[in-house]
Structure 1
Amino acid sequence: MAAESDGHKQRNSSFELLRILCMLFVIGGHLIGKGMQIPYDKMLAFGGQDYVFARLLYSFCVVAVDTFILISGYFGIKSNWNKIVKIWFSVLFYSWLVAVYKIVVEKELVSSLPYILPITSNEFWFLSCYFVLCAVAPLLNKLAEKLSRKDFVNILLLCLVIIYGWASFNYILNFRQFIPDFGGGIINFSILYLIGRYIRLYGFTDYSSLFYLGVFVGNTILMVCMELLFSSIFHFGFTSFENINSIFVVSNAVFLFLFFKKLHFHNKYVNLLAVYCLSVYIIHCNDIGLNFLTDFFHLKNLHGFEILWSVLFIPPVVYIVCSVFEWGRRSLFSKMENMVLGAIVRRWKSDKI
């Protein structure tokens, strides 16, 4: 999520808008997948109208994680410890608030423990994996720079076949996965990062923005149709293609990224909102946040086209509210954080001497 910008150049708002859109997708996906939890009804055609509509919307949202990593790979992750430590401050602030709430209000000590050490416990799995990616990014950057274009292409094609092709084939036959993390691990993140680096270094086949958008939409509809077909055959809700290491999701992330790459504009408000992207994820993606959103918006009572609100209306509201919370936190604690950060930097420099 915290992709680097091009030094002192003015940030291209198209990528900032993509980051915001992906976070809206994350929120929408959580509202559908964890809030509504619409079951597959084998007595109805394709599981029922609500199920079909929810799967279609969720399939558009699921590209968010892969796209975030593509953005990071495209711009490259630099060794910016100030930024990493500030991310830690934000994570710990909200995570510890959740832990305090669970202990004081819910009287739940055991369930609060993962929020005390959120990265180690993998409570925010994306951040845990992203911090690991930050650690290995210098090696991935060197690999991308040292490889010839031909070798780079061959490595990526090999990874596409072994990691994504094999996973998708096993999903179809319900076989055990070769890498059982369903894409939520450092292997998938590293490959996506390298794909982003390749696009930055060598570009990609140049088509119009409408072409990439059309392929993205068409591929998503194809994925949903195949899932519904397999669901009818197997008599249960087949959703395996929605895992972030399926060939459908990975290719869709690339198409969506390339669509926004063709856009070029600057908007200070878009850039400002994108700054709060990570905090929006932390604030809403926890037991307290998701349960609150489920109850507040009566998600389990949404049916038919009402489900569309979970993607079009609710996520922007959640994003704005969470951004206001983060703005307030930074206003109150930025000076304190800078003091702590300065002390850490001075201590680190003195240890080096």
Structure 2
Amino acid sequence: MRQIKRESNFELLRIIAMVMIVSHHLVYHGLFNNILTQNYGNLWAEGNLSNQIAACLFYPGGEVGVAVFFMLTGYFLCEKKQGSIKKIWLEVQTYGLLMVLFYLISNIIGFKYIGISQEAIFKNMLSYVLLPQMSGVWWFVTAYIMLILFLPILYNVEIKLNKKGWICFIGCSWFFFYALSGYLYTKQYDLQIAITYFLIGAYIKKYCKNERSNKLYNILFLVIAWTGYSYGIYLTSGGTNTLIPLSIIRLWPVIKYIFITLGSISLFLMFKQLKICSGMINYISATTFGVYLLHDNIFARQWIWNGILNIPEMYKENYFAIKVLLWTGIVFGVCAVLDRFRIQWIEPKYMKVYDCIKAYVRKKFNDF
């Protein structure tokens, strides 16, 4: 089988996007979620100003990182009529079973999950065992698989559009499917995020192949978007500024989507222009999806952020920003090593079993 040559600039972007997502999860699940649920009292006020600013600066990475991943999907799959979900399906099933084992071990050693009922734990265990791909326990996985299943429809729409049609299509998708639906939080919002950024990535592939955007402008727009988003998080989390009208603060749930889109496009265009060829980058990049599955699930979240690292206490201490960077790197590194083990030793075995079952079923079907 012909090996697909990976572009290391995009693989590096994939790594950076996942690092940003991990840092977002650290401050979101370890800090902001505890602020919302008041599991630790008035936690926001217990951090000094520099820690509050640091927490807000790490926050945008999650949503920008997710947008980048869907843009990468659009960039590389927009010219295909269909995509394969076999590999991702089996990988998710493997980690679903692993998460159930992880919970059972946590329960044996006496770890207590805060704010999760026994009924919720039981339902999640069933989901991880039976259908982790489509049950929403990993929302990104469900949205991605649905996006791949929608590829034939998107392809048939794409080939009929000219450049103006693309811009109108993306504009309508951004406003109705993304911003407005995000404000209302519609039932299929996760899929709508996927489709919107898929279309943006596809547009860049189709119409920006040879165009080189200004690096300085990309950096400037990224800084503006990141700072604007961070400042909005600060204001809505308890920060105060009499210069900002209350009406503007109330519009934050809509305004933030402009910053996310601006930031993700700027970051994507910056890396698109790079020329990198690195086997090591490609080697590490192959683990990014596994890093996501390992660290962001209902059983691992509290164990990592509130148990091992105790982010609420870390937030009250000095040098919070440095510690976030350090632990983000460690969590990413540990998960990447674990996923390399799966790729090297486990994946070949279950892929072989899958191929055997597929051949057997096909033979029986033909005989029938």
TM-score range, shorter chain: 0.7 to 0.9
For 2:229 and 2:175, the matched residues in 1 are separated by 18
For the structure 1 residues 158 and 69, does the alpha-carbon distance in structure 2 shift closer, same or farther, using more than 3 Å as the test? Answer: same
Shift of 1:298: 3.1
Q: 1:24-44 CA distances to partner (integer Å, 9 max, x unpaired)?
A: 111111110001336386996
Match of 2:157 in 1: 143
Q: Which of 272, 276, 281 matches 2:283? A: 272
AA in 1 matched with 2:278: N
For 2:255 and 2:299, the matched residues in 1 are separated by 25
Q: How does 1:181-220 map to 2 (within 5 A)?
A: 184-203=189-208, 206-220=212-226
For 2:342 and 2:55, the matched residues in 1 are separated by 35
- How many residues in Structure 1 have an aligned counterpart in Structure 2? 334
Match of 1:315 in 2: 328
Q: Which of 308, 328, 333 matches 2:341? A: 328
Shift of 1:184: 4.5
> Secondary structure of the residue that 1:120 maps to in structure 2?
coil
Give ranges in structure 2 of 5+ residues lacking alignment.
37-41, 109-117
For the structure 1 residues 298 and 228, does the alpha-carbon distance in structure 2 shift closer, same or farther, using more than 3 Å as the test? Answer: closer
> Secondary structure of the residue that 1:62 maps to in structure 2?
helix
Match of 1:26 in 2: 21
Match of 1:160 in 2: 174
Contact 1:70 1:192 in 2 (8 A): yes
Instruction: Give the % identical residues.
Output: 23
Match of 2:115 in 1: none
Q: 1:67-109 CA distances to partner (integer Å, 9 max, x unpaired)?
A: 100000011165453xx22222221222212213434652766
Give ranges in structure 1 of 5+ residues lacking alignment.
1-6, 172-176
Indicate the larger mover: 12-21 or 187-196.
187-196
Shift of 1:275: 0.4
Indicate the larger mover: 263-272 or 222-231.
222-231
The question of 1:39 aligning with 2:39 is answered no
For 1:69 and 1:240, the matched residues in 2 are separated by 26
Q: How does 1:9-20 map to 2 (within 5 A)?
A: 10-20=5-15
Q: How does 1:61-210 map to 2 (within 5 A)?
A: 61-76=62-77, 78=80, 79-81=82-84, 84-103=85-104, 105-106=106-107, 110=122, 111-116=124-129, 117-164=131-178, 166=180, 177=184, 179-180=185-186, 184-203=189-208, 206-210=212-216
For 1:12 and 1:239, the matched residues in 2 are separated by 42
AA in 2 matched with 1:306: Y
Q: 1:41-80 CA distances to partner (integer Å, 9 max, x unpaired)?
A: 6996x99543332112212443011110000001116545
Contact 1:73 1:195 in 2 (8 A): yes
Shift of 1:203: 1.0
For the structure 1 residues 244 and 9, does the alpha-carbon distance in structure 2 shift closer, same or farther, using more than 3 Å as the test? Answer: farther
AA in 2 matched with 1:161: F
Shift of 1:256: 1.0
Shift of 1:305: 5.8
Q: 1:126-154 CA distances to partner (integer Å, 9 max, x unpaired)?
A: 10111101100122123222212221122
Contact 1:74 1:199 in 2 (8 A): yes
Match of 2:313 in 1: 301
Q: Normalising by structure 1, what TM-score?
A: 0.81
> Secondary structure of the residue that 2:134 maps to in structure 1?
coil
Match of 2:54 in 1: 53
For the structure 1 residues 320 and 50, does the alpha-carbon distance in structure 2 shift closer, same or farther, using more than 3 Å as the test? Answer: closer
AA in 1 matched with 2:346: F
For 2:24 and 2:62, the matched residues in 1 are separated by 6
The question of 1:281 aligning with 2:287 is answered no
For the structure 1 residues 322 and 43, does the alpha-carbon distance in structure 2 shift closer, same or farther, using more than 3 Å as the test? Answer: closer
